[in-house]
Amino acid sequence: MATATGAMTRCSTRFLAIGHDAHVVGLDITPRMIELAIGKKNGHAGSCSFMVGDMLALPFPDRSFDVVTTGYGLRNVPDLTRAVDELARVLTPGGLALSLDFNRPANGLVRRAYLSYLTVVGSSLGWLLHGNPDTYRYIPASIRRYPGAEAVGRLMEARGFTDVEYMPVLGGLMAIHCARRSG
């Protein structure tokens, strides 16, 4: 979910599906991202496909996947609880959910510095790469609304996931969630 240009999908195919009869699906709500992902698909992508879809209404039957990954997806959904429920719905019992995302630092001073940094760097990169300083401004805005890694972990537990943990990355500025769908 939230495959963007497909990097995580291609990595998943290459490293998780080696020697298995597995199929990896990359899904993103933005058609242009899926076009780019398909364009980057190569011989190393193995058995993977890409499709446009909404992680609030995943176009897959219940219990379809053993592993679901999302990169920078949960922070951007308008209904986090519904997205977590959809993750659980499409996972097999005991299936694994992995999510990488920016975090919302609990310390107000650190959070302000972090968001200011992301605003300045995002505006600069947006201007340099795309001629538009607003291209990446959604990132600090979405972090302001995001409840943070600890709260997302509690939500996952409340929605029936087990073995929920999150690992801080970059001193806690980002986090990786790992959770199992209950049986």
Examine the domain organization and report whether 164 and 133 are in the same domain: no
pLDDT tens, residue by residue, 74-110: 999 999 999 999 999 999 999 999 999 999 998 999 9
Tell whether the model's pLDDT for residue 151 goes beyond 60: yes
Q: Domain range for residue 110?
A: 105-144
Residue 53 and residue 118 share a domain: no
| Domain match, 93 and 116 both | no
Query: How does the average pLDDT of the chain come out, rounded?
Result: 87
Q: Is residue 50 part of a domain?
A: yes
Read off the pLDDT of residues 11-46 as tens digits, 9 standing for 90 and up.
555 555 555 667 788 888 988 888 888 887 655 455
Q: DSSP letters of 32-51?
A: HHHHHHHHH--GGG-SEEEE
Name which of 56, 41, 12, 6 is nearest 27 in CA terms.
Answer: 6
* 74 within domain boundaries: yes
More confident site: 46 or 119: 119
Mean pLDDT along residues 173-180: 95
What are the tokens at 141?
Answer: 């805005």
**Whether residue 110 is found in the same domain as residue 160:** no
* Region class of 58: left (phi > 0), else alpha (psi between -120 and 50), else beta: beta
Distance CA 123, CA 125 (A): 6
Note whether residue 155 is domain-resident: yes
126 and 68 housed in the same domain: no
Whole-prediction pTM: 0.85
The residue written with tokens 């659980």 in the block is: 88
Query: What sign results for the dihedral spanned by CA atoms 81, 87, 90, 91?
Result: negative
